[in-house]
Structure 1
Amino acid sequence: MAEDKQPSNWQQAITGEWHGCPSLFEADGTHVGYNKVNRSSEFKDGRTTYWMETRFDASGPLMDRFEIGARMEFGVIDSDLDRIYTGPDFYGSGKPYGLLVDSSYYSPGWNVQLRTVNHVVPELGLQVYSSQLFDGDTLTGVFNGLYVVTQDHDSNPETRERVAAFLEKEKKDAKRPFNLPVKHAGVFRGEFEVYNDRQERVGTTTVTVHHRPINLLHSEQTIEISGVINRKWTALRNRTGGNHQFHGPDLHGNGKSYGRYLYSVRHVLGEACRLWSRETVVDEDYTMVCAWQFIESQQAKYMTFGVLRWEPGENVLAAHYID
């Protein structure tokens, strides 16, 4: 019976009401507004219901497309293997990997296909959210932003004040472009959780990214990974506006940034292997929350995620002089 069911681990991890103000971007990266959101996934009497209240403040045709003027509320078949969305607002499914869920689903009201990645980061007190929006395989826009969770929003004035201050900060920070340090060399360092293709946690891997700017638009990076996954790659990176490229020798590919978020695909030279990544700079210290998916022989091999913290080194692009 439904009453005998227990909530999944993911469902327990997201208990509470989440508050955010994700930004809305056109496909070319233009920031066109915000979406004030309250949402919760609630387990009751053996059933899971996801509700979401949205209020868009945007310009252009995407405003008309996404502001439908009604609370969203839809059923979820909850499990730690698949979370299946049963409508009427969303149809599709999400795949949990510990504190991260990667979802693919369709919204009839918005007439859009979404890839949504939600990553709960307890050490930062945040959920890092993004949705890439598609018409078939054609990208039409992006939502992204940070969320905080509350258990007493309606009853506690201090909680409401804290949330309001967070949302105001989100509006100020959301349009900041994705930039890594442009003048200082240094190291990004952190530990990622690793899940295999059966959604089993198989351990952790230490990630070290050695970063050295060459000029204001180019840098060389060496990624070293050790633990469950052991790899080492070097690539030349360049950035032109929101367009990013990786020029080898070990990784070749490109990416596109939408505010603080960079979505990339990098191919490993000489192997049937590529790395899909979503990387989010969450503060002015270049703290970066990452989700890296390893794809081998066209199949998902590992989902990894974690926080990289920046350790600055020397200023390699100090003022130039001609005597």
Structure 2
Amino acid sequence: MKPSQWQQRIQGEWVGRPSLFDATGTWQGYEDIRRSSIFEDGTTTYVMDGGLTGGGPLAGRFRLGAPFAFGVVDSDADRLYTGPDFHGSGRPYGAFVDAHYYGPGWQVGLNTWNQTIGDTQVYSSLLSQGPAIVGCFNGLYTRDAALVDEWLAAETTNGPVPYILPTKAAGAYSGVCEVYGADQKPRGTLDVSIEVEPVDLLRARHRMTLGEPYTTEVRRDGFRSFYEGPQVWGNAQAYGRASYPVLHLGGARRVHGREFMMDAAPGMGAGSMLAVVYEVFAGNRLDEVIHGVLTWSSS
């Protein structure tokens, strides 16, 4: 029995230092993690070893005294997490997986998004108590053993950096993204762009091309953003380098997304590489999943 395509894609040991944020987006600490999945005799087991540094008021909830381990029913359809440390399921869409599960040790539900780009994974877990978000882990992982030391140093420096787009320069983040239907079958590629025209230090006009062009004015308030029409309405919450928008595009089209500034660093500037995932809903039904990397160019 061979492992699934997703299992083959993520084989090896992944090392990262994702940051922990509370529900407001305030940085709290780091989670030092080495994780790997072992496929033997048709059975897959995930192992996660590490520890929590800092954590503030969340430390008591997210610090444990032993590594995580849990079984996985390996599949390119629904991947089932069978415990003892995580229970739930995940579904791959090419190089991206959307997983929903429960962690008894942390006593939270998790919605984990993993976007694999070569030897890099763009990772986030939104942590919930019922419907309420109580925190978020996110960061970049590598499986290139030669990069581990400098990677962890960079994640230590960059993990707490807040998400921000350029505030004085006009330009666009653009790239070619992969598209998958709700049935997980590839639909081809799509040119995606976010044109940014700053109005002042807290507002900008955006022209977002996601199959069709949409214009909106975006207002930033700390870790929160507000999309205030005329064609896109919604809001977003940022946790460090990642912003999570929920956008209404008119009619019954709705987008739940993650925009992760991969090269964000301390200082007065914005990054140039934006890893994006957009789950597009038609009414209340998932229609397609779009993911890829957008790069900045000034106009």
TM-score category, normalised to shorter length = over 0.9
1:312 aligns to 2:298 (yes or no): yes
State the SS of the aligned residue for 1:293.
Answer: strand
Q: Distance in 2 between matches of 1:117 and 1:101?
A: 6
What residue identity is the alignment partner of 1:277?
G
> How far off its partner does 1:14 sit?
0.4
State the SS of the aligned residue for 1:236.
Answer: strand
What residue number does 2:35 align with?
39
**Which of 112, 116, 141 in structure 2 is aligned with 1:116?**
112
**Which of 44, 51, 71 in structure 2 is aligned with 1:48?**
44
Alignment of 1:190-229 (within 5 A): 190-225=175-210
1:134 aligns to 2:128 (yes or no): yes
Larger mean CA deviation between 162-171 and 97-106 belongs to: 162-171
What residue identity is the alignment partner of 2:65?
G
What residue number does 2:233 align with?
252
> How far off its partner does 1:11 sit?
0.2
What residue identity is the alignment partner of 1:238?
R
Q: 4+ runs of 1 displaced by more than 6 Å?
A: none
Any conservation in 2 of the 1:180–1:286 contact (CA below 8 Å)? no
State the SS of the aligned residue for 1:300.
Answer: strand
> How far off its partner does 1:273 sit?
1.3
> How far off its partner does 1:97 sit?
0.5
Q: Distance in 2 between matches of 1:210 and 1:258?
A: 22
**Which of 278, 282, 287 in structure 1 is aligned with 2:262?**
282
Q: Distance in 1 between matches of 2:218 and 2:64?
A: 41
Give deviations 1:199-224, integer Å, cap 9, x for gaps.
00110001122210000100001112
Give deviations 1:134-175, integer Å, cap 9, x for gaps.
01101100000000014xx5xxxxx3xx30111011010011
Aligned residue pairs: how many? 293
State the SS of the aligned residue for 1:169.
Answer: helix
Q: Distance in 1 between matches of 2:55 and 2:121?
A: 26
State the SS of the aligned residue for 1:163.
Answer: helix
Any conservation in 1 of the 2:258–2:277 contact (CA below 8 Å)? yes
Please report the TM-score for the alignment, with normalisation by the length of structure 2.
0.96
Query: Which ranges of structure 2 fall in alignment gaps of 5 or more residues?
Result: 265-270
Q: Distance in 2 between matches of 1:231 and 1:242?
A: 28
What residue identity is the alignment partner of 2:116?
V
State the SS of the aligned residue for 1:33.
Answer: strand
Q: Distance in 2 between matches of 1:209 and 1:167?
A: 30
What residue identity is the alignment partner of 1:141?
G
> How far off its partner does 1:60 sit?
2.4
Any conservation in 1 of the 2:174–2:193 contact (CA below 8 Å)? yes
Q: Distance in 1 between matches of 2:229 and 2:216?
A: 4
What residue identity is the alignment partner of 2:96?
L
**Which of 262, 285, 297 in structure 2 is aligned with 1:299?**
285
Give deviations 1:176-197, integer Å, cap 9, x for gaps.
1111011000111101100001
State the SS of the aligned residue for 2:197.
Answer: strand
What residue identity is the alignment partner of 2:229?
G
What residue identity is the alignment partner of 1:240?
D
Q: Distance in 2 between matches of 1:306 and 1:136?
A: 30
Please report the TM-score for the alignment, with normalisation by the length of structure 1.
0.89
Q: Distance in 1 between matches of 2:61 and 2:49?
A: 16
What residue identity is the alignment partner of 1:61?
P
Q: Distance in 1 between matches of 2:24 and 2:208?
A: 28
Aligned Cα root-mean-square deviation (Å): 1.0
Any conservation in 1 of the 2:29–2:56 contact (CA below 8 Å)? no
What residue identity is the alignment partner of 2:81?
Y
What residue number does 1:319 align with?
none
What residue number does 1:89 align with?
85
Any conservation in 1 of the 2:14–2:142 contact (CA below 8 Å)? yes
Identity %: 42
Q: Distance in 2 between matches of 1:112 and 1:59?
A: 15
Q: Distance in 2 between matches of 1:286 and 1:173?
A: 14
